[in-house]
Structure 1
Amino acid sequence: MVEILFFSVFVGLHAVLLGGFFIQHRRDKRLVEERSDRPQGVSRGEGEAAEPEEIPSVSVLVAVHNEAHRIGLLLESLLEQRTNKFECVFVDDRSTDETPRLLETFRQKAQEKNIAVTIIHLTENPGPNYKQVALRKGFPLCKGEVIALTDGDCWVPPTWISGIQKRMREPSVGLLIGPVFKILRKVSFLSYFQSYDHVIRYDYLVGACGLGACDGGFGNNMAIKKAVLQDIGGYEAVPFSATEDAALIGEVLRRTAWKIHACVGEDSRVFTEPEKDWKSFFRQALRWNKGGLHAPHSGTRLAFGFLSLLITVGSLGLFILPWRSSLWPLPTAVLLAMVLNTVELVVYRKKKGQTVSSYLPPFSLPLYGALLCFEPLFFSLLTVLVLINVPVYWKGKRV
Structure 2
Amino acid sequence: MLIALLLTSIIYATVILWLRFHWQKKRPDKHPLRKAPLPRISVIIAFHNEIQSLPNLIKHLQQQSLSADHYEIIAVNDHSTDDDYLWLIEKAQVLQSDGYGKKSALRKGIEAATGQLIVTTDADCIPSPYWLETILKEYAAEPTAMLLGPVMLTTGKNTFFHLFQRNDFLSLQMSGAAMAMAGHPVFGNGANLIFEKQAWTKVVNKQAGQHLASGDDVFLLHAFKKEGYKIRFLHNKKAMVYTVPVASWRHFFRQRKRWGGKSTAYTDRDAILLASLVFVVNLLLFIATILLPLLPLWGVLTAFVLKLVSDYTFLKSGTIFYDTHLSILPFILCSLLYPFYIIYTALTGVLLPEKW
TM-score between the two structures when normalised by the length of structure 1: 0.80
- Distance in 2 between residues matched to 1:218 and 1:306, nearest whole Å: 21
Q: Aligned residue for 1:95?
A: 80
* Mapped contact 2:308–2:332 kept (Cα < 8 A): no
- Distance in 1 between residues matched to 2:317 and 2:284, nearest whole Å: 28
- Distance in 2 between residues matched to 1:211 and 1:278, nearest whole Å: 33
Higher relative CO (Cα under 8 Å, sequence separation at least 6) belongs to 2
Q: Which amino acid aligns with 1:238?
A: Q
2:224 to 248, 252, 262: 252
- Distance in 2 between residues matched to 1:381 and 1:221, nearest whole Å: 28
| Percent of matched pairs sharing the same residue | 22
Q: Secondary structure at the match of 1:257?
A: coil
Q: Gaps spanning 5+ residues in structure 1: where?
A: 44-51, 108-116, 395-399
1:91-134 Cα shifts (integer Å, max 9, x gaps) = 011123354233124x1xxxxxxxxx321123x63x4xx00011
Q: Does 1:69 align with 2:69?
A: no
- Distance in 2 between residues matched to 1:298 and 1:4, nearest whole Å: 24
* Mapped contact 1:59–1:143 kept (Cα < 8 A): yes
Q: Aligned residue for 1:243?
A: 215
Q: Does 1:182 align with 2:153?
A: yes
* Mapped contact 2:49–2:81 kept (Cα < 8 A): yes
Please report how far the alpha carbon of residue 227 of structure 1 lies from its aligned counterpart in structure 2 after TM superposition. 2.4
> Does the C-alpha gap of structure 1 residues 146 and 334 become closer, same or farther in structure 2, counting only changes over 3 Å?
farther
Q: Secondary structure at the match of 2:156?
A: coil
1:327-379 Cα shifts (integer Å, max 9, x gaps) = x54563344333333334335534xxx572xxx35x54432322233334312
Q: Secondary structure at the match of 1:20?
A: helix
Q: Secondary structure at the match of 1:91?
A: strand
Q: Aligned residue for 1:393?
A: 355
- Distance in 1 between residues matched to 2:187 and 2:180, nearest whole Å: 9
- Distance in 2 between residues matched to 1:20 and 1:169, nearest whole Å: 24
1:11 to 10, 13, 21: 13
* Mapped contact 1:63–1:131 kept (Cα < 8 A): yes
Q: Does 1:346 align with 2:316?
A: yes
* Mapped contact 2:146–2:196 kept (Cα < 8 A): yes
Q: Secondary structure at the match of 2:246?
A: coil
> Does the C-alpha gap of structure 1 residues 329 and 268 become closer, same or farther in structure 2, counting only changes over 3 Å?
farther
Q: Secondary structure at the match of 1:155?
A: strand
TM-score between the two structures when normalised by the length of structure 2: 0.89
Please report how far the alpha carbon of residue 182 of structure 1 lies from its aligned counterpart in structure 2 after TM superposition. 1.5
> Does the C-alpha gap of structure 1 residues 307 and 221 become closer, same or farther in structure 2, counting only changes over 3 Å?
same
Q: Does 1:82 align with 2:78?
A: no
- Distance in 2 between residues matched to 1:330 and 1:165, nearest whole Å: 49
Q: Does 1:261 align with 2:232?
A: yes
Please report how far the alpha carbon of residue 309 of structure 1 lies from its aligned counterpart in structure 2 after TM superposition. 2.0
Q: Aligned residue for 2:95?
A: 120
Q: Aligned residue for 2:187?
A: 216
Q: Secondary structure at the match of 1:393?
A: coil
- 1:148-159 → structure 2 map (5 Å cutoff): 148-159=119-130
Q: Aligned residue for 1:369?
A: 332
Q: Which amino acid aligns with 1:248?
A: L
Please report how far the alpha carbon of residue 172 of structure 1 lies from its aligned counterpart in structure 2 after TM superposition. 5.4
- Distance in 2 between residues matched to 1:189 and 1:300, nearest whole Å: 30
Q: Secondary structure at the match of 1:88?
A: strand
Q: Over aligned residue pairs, what C-alpha RMSD do you find? A: 2.4
- Distance in 1 between residues matched to 2:123 and 2:84, nearest whole Å: 10
